[in-house]
Amino acid sequence: MSAARPGPTLPAVILRTDRLTLRAFTESDVDGVLRAMTDPETRRWIPLPEPGRTYTRADAEHWCLVQAPEARVTGDGQQWAAVETATGAFVGAFGLVHTRWRARLTEVGYWTVPEARRRGLATEAVVAVSRWALFDRRFERVELKAATGNTASRRVAVRSGFAFEGVERNAMPLHVGRTDLAVYSLIPADLV
């Protein structure tokens, strides 16, 4: 017996912003994924591949070639590799995760390579992804959750138009310890 799918397959789409192209992950993204996921600041807040385990090249390959495409096909969400349109430089991963189809709710998640930080690129991509979810896919709610101490990610939420709702206490494991999560949301009425 096969596992039940959480929802329909999302369409394979390319999103474009002023400076970015968000497209499917390919083998050419492996080095960028590995660079981002082995960066100390990324590891501080994102416990991948699992808490306490070192991220390897094999993990990056698996993400690009299996996990990211699988999310779309299983209906869990959608993952995009973001690249700067002008240069083709890999910026990071942006996607929809933990999609709950009956509730028409999904969560936006992201991470970037160190050299893409503090340039407004994460905000630009989060805006594109969340608006695509709300307008093109007709979701009723997009959530964004960030560790309460991750001020950079929390700024992205605010700059992207998300409303702060509260804190989920002790909600996520890290590589060391656990963290509370600040919860933000965006709904269609926020954008009219």
Domain-embedded: residue 157: no
Domain of residue 41: give its range: 15-140
The pLDDT tens digits of the residues spanning 104-163 come to: 999 999 999 999 999 999 999 999 999 999 999 999 999 999 999 999 999 999 999 999
Answer whether residue 178 shows pLDDT above 80. Answer: yes
Give this prediction's pTM: 0.93
Cβ(73)–Cβ(29) below 8 Å: no
Domain-embedded: residue 8: no
Domain-embedded: residue 164: no
Cα(16)–Cα(67) distance, integer angstroms: 23
How many domains are contained in the chain?
1
Domain-embedded: residue 88: yes
Retrieve residue 159's tokens: 């700059």
The pLDDT tens digits of the residues spanning 50-99 come to: 999 999 999 999 999 999 999 988 888 999 999 999 999 999 999 999 99
CATH number at residue 111: 3.40.630.30
Residue type, 173: P
Cβ(126)–Cβ(111) below 8 Å: no
